[in-house]
Structure 1
Amino acid sequence: MPEELVESIKERVDARGVSGYIAAAAAHQDAMDRLRELAECLEEENGALTEDDQQAALDRIAGIDDWHDERRPHRDVAA
């Protein structure tokens, strides 16, 4: 691993946290790789998503975000 990268990580975490930081990064990359593999498999089985399919998914996600925002307690922030 490049020493500059290790030093950059050390600036953010203490010495014991470096391995945890690297493990979390590896776990994240593994999850992204698995999602990509799943997407590729689904695309092979069902064909590529259309732009309308993608927009429908984004609209659904936005709707879920709005639903959560409406139920989240609001805090008044003093100016």
Structure 2
Amino acid sequence: MATKKVTVTIPEELLDEIRAEAAERGLSAYVAEALRVKRDRDRLLGLVNWLEEEYGPVTEDERAAAGKELDELDAEHERRRAGGKRKAEEAA
């Protein structure tokens, strides 16, 4: 996949925390994954908004189910990150 270098401004305290958490993967990989997660959530919110326009407000049960799906997506992202770390460690 092609990449492109960009410049962003991030609060210093947040950057320090992110660098500590992203140490092995690197800052770029961490930020790219965070942006993917944010994009996925935004797309889901867009879908919810469209569905509300088409079919009416979302019920609390539907919100709970959507929240569960988001949690499952987060867990899948974490499993993928952990799997990538293990493969890198095995290759080393």
**Which interval holds the TM-score relative to the shorter structure?**
0.5 to 0.7
Give the match for residue 68 of structure 1: none
Query: What are the equivalent positions in structure 2 for 1:2-21 lying under 5 Å apart?
Result: 2-14=11-23, 17-21=26-30
The count of corresponding residues between Structure 1 and Structure 2 is 56
Give the match for residue 37 of structure 1: 46
Deviations 1:18-47 (A, max 9, x none): 111111111111111110010000110011
Structure 2: where are the runs of 5+ without partners?
1-9, 69-92
Deviation of 1:17 after TM superposition, in Å, equals 1.1
- Greater relative contact order (Cα 8 A, min sep 6): structure 1 or 2? 2
| Root mean square deviation of aligned Cα | 2.4
Q: SS of the residue aligned with 1:33?
A: helix
TM-score (norm 1): 0.57
Q: Which runs of 4+ in 1 moved over 6 A?
A: none
For residues 16 and 34 of structure 1, the distance between their equivalents in structure 2, rounded to whole angstroms, comes to 26
Closer, same or farther in 2 for the Cα pair 1:15/1:6, shift >3 Å?
A: farther
Give the match for residue 74 of structure 2: none
Give the match for residue 22 of structure 1: 31
Query: What are the equivalent positions in structure 2 for 1:57-68 lying under 5 Å apart?
Result: 58=65
Residue identity (%):
41
Larger Rg: 1
Structure 1: where are the runs of 5+ without partners?
62-79
